[in-house]
Amino acid sequence: MKAANRTPNVRISPHAHELLRRMAEEEKQSMQAVLDKALEGYRRERFLRAANADFEALRRDSEAWKKELRERELWEQTSSDGLARE
């Protein structure tokens, strides 16, 4: 059997199961679809939290932040398409 055809089982608490069931009913979707969306949302939230923490650390290092701003200025020059900024 190929891994793509497998449907793994995951244990969740009765409370989580009831929430998932209600949400699926409200959304008129399967519990699997609701869980997939929830996990994708959580993955994106974690990514953004990590990116925000990295930028916060960068800004605390004044020399590194100055380098970042200089590099952004250089990149801004590469987008000279002749259009006025809004």
pLDDT in tens, 11-61: 999 999 999 999 999 999 999 999 999 999 999 999 999 999 999 999 999
Helix axes 14-27, 31-60, angle to 10 degrees: 100
Distances (CA, A) of 14 to 1, 29, 41: 31, 19, 22
pLDDT recorded at residue 2: 60
Q: Name the residue ranges covered by the structural domains of the chain.
A: 13-78
Q: What is the DSSP letter of 55?
A: H
pLDDT digits (tens, 9 = 90+) for 1-11: 466 678 889 99
Residue 70: is its pLDDT beyond 70? yes
- The token pair at 66 is 């100055």
The DSSP element (H or E) to which 77 belongs, if any, is: helix 62-78
Q: What is this structure's pTM?
A: 0.69
